[in-house]
Amino acid sequence: MQRFVNITGVKSKLIIVIFAFVAFAVVLSRGIKADDVLSWDKSGYYLYLPATIIYQDLTDYQFYRTKGKENNLTGGEENYGLRKLPNGKSLNKYPVGVAVMQLPFFLIAHGYASGSPDYLADGYVYPYIVAVVVSNIFWVVAGLIFLRSFLRIYFPENAVFLTLLAIAFGTNLYYYTAYDQGMSHPYSFFLFAAVLWLTEKYYNNFKLRHLLLLGLTLGLITITRPVNLLVILIPLFWKVHDLESLKARFLFLLNNSRKILLAGFLFFLVICIQLSYWKFVTGNWIYYSYENERFLFNDPEIINGLFSYKKGWFIYTPIAFLSFIGLIFLWKQYPKFIPALVLFFSLMIYVVFCWSMWFYGGSFGCRPLIETLPFVAIPLAAVCCYAFWVRNYFIKISLVTLIVLLVGLNLFQSYQYSINIIHWDSMTKEYYWRVFGKQEINHEELKQYLRN
């Protein structure tokens, strides 16, 4: 076993390289098509780019109706994601952050398409679709790099190796990188990993650039998925573990208020992108674009959200459950991490499952918690670290075997979901176990076990 530890100890970065290679391989094997990459919600996230740069149309989106129909992006629903306002304008309900992060890749694609006789530079031909796919994989890989950099500060390489293996290949981050690009969650995964890394860097050396970058990152998080601003609890309470450290943190923030205000100004500049769009279209700086969709704070679906066969986080991402057990081991190794993580996860899980559609429509597992995986990785690394520290080879072998099995399960179930064996929103316990491990099923025979 010691030999295995030494081999993995020098190669944790290979997990990221292999992940990128596998993601691209899966994409190429399946083909890159507009009706996959820019379908449904993803069409709305992306819409800002062609609307602004190609068509100069942020109030009507006539081109969206045409291109959507041509490419079958929303199943014939021409106005999907658009809200018709009393002033006659149409509002894109989706936040602008994903488009901001896709922008550099879009510009490269647009430049190529504009100069090529083979493509019409309309925002929806092959180069643009490739740009979305590449941007998705790029930001996830960047997030894994940030995560690895943080983990190596506190944990040995063998623990980092297993943790990265589990997060990259053992969670639905893999599905939303290799199979289904363009949703907001992979981009948010990068942003959360950046917050973790920048927070650690700032409290270690107090360099202004890290604080300013943190302000920019929090701004991007807000305009990508506003509810994710809850992640601000991490930098606010990082390593605050008792009353004395809480007082010290308050005084620190007070004494550095000018620097924090400067970071806050950068945060405000970023969110002005979203505010300006709302002002331009609606006449109001702040506008709730989701209309009847809302949070039901008095009726959370936490048990269903975590344990149901419909979309339960712990059912379809059991690595997350192992990580929560790891909080015990993290408390023994780095107790200062516990309060911030517990506070963040308590509020994040509560708010996420207060959404009126708590299962978040069509998805593989619980997609709104993908962004939290950088923080899931910390107690998971503590479990791995403990297993390699103890002199019990049974524990070492058991943990490695468990993680490998969970990774294999996630890889296979990602494939099952991609070929419609795992249903997109109507899973039940009976159906789950009847299709478990199967590559082919009789859909007509099994549809009686599905439930809306």
Q: What is the tens place of the pLDDT at every residue in 400-432?
A: 999 999 999 999 999 999 999 999 999 999 999
Cα gap 179→201, rounded to integer Å:
33
- The pLDDT score that the predictor gives to residue 78 is 86
Split the chain (452 residues) into runs of 10 and give each run's mean pLDDT: 38 95 98 95 98 97 94 91 96 98 98 97 98 98 98 96 98 98 98 98 97 98 98 98 97 97 98 98 97 95 98 98 98 97 98 97 97 98 95 93 98 98 97 98 96 84
- The pLDDT score that the predictor gives to residue 6 is 39
- The pLDDT score that the predictor gives to residue 76 is 85
- The pLDDT score that the predictor gives to residue 9 is 42
Tell me the pLDDT tens digit for each residue of 245-292.
999 999 999 999 999 999 999 999 999 999 999 999 999 999 999 988
Tell me the torsion sign for CA atoms 123, 174, 229, 287.
positive
- The pLDDT score that the predictor gives to residue 5 is 39
Cα gap 383→329, rounded to integer Å:
6
- The pLDDT score that the predictor gives to residue 80 is 94
Cα gap 386→325, rounded to integer Å:
12
Question: In residues, how long is the chain?
Answer: 452
Cα gap 61→79, rounded to integer Å:
9
**DSSP collapsed to 3 states, the chain:** CHHHHHHHHCCHHHHHHHHHHHHHHHHHHHCCCHHHHCCCHHHHHHCHHHHHHHCCCCCCCHHHHHHHHHHCCCCCCCCCCEEECCCCCEEECCCCHHHHHHHHHHHHHHHHHHCCCCCCCCCCCHHHHHHHHHHHHHHHHHHHHHHHHHHHHHCCHHHHHHHHHHHHHCCCCCHHHHCCCCCHHHHHHHHHHHHHHHHHHHHHHCCHHHHHHHHHHHHHHHHHCHHHHHHHHHHHHCCCCCHHHHHHHHHHHHHCHHHHHHHHHHHHHHHHHHHHHHHHHHCCCCCCCCCCCCECCCCCCHHHHHHCCCCCHHHHCHHHHHHHHCHHHHHHHCHHHHHHHHHHHHHHHHHHCCECCCCCCCCCCCHHHHHHHHHHHHHHHHHHHHHHHCCCHHHHHHHHHHHHHHHHHHHHHHHHHHCCCCCCCCCCHHHHHHHCCCCCCCHHHHHHHCCC
- Long-range Cβ contact pairs of 32-36 (< 8 A, separation 24 or more): 32/126, 32/129, 32/130, 32/133, 33/129, 34/71, 34/73, 34/124, 34/125, 34/129, 35/71, 35/72, 35/73, 36/180
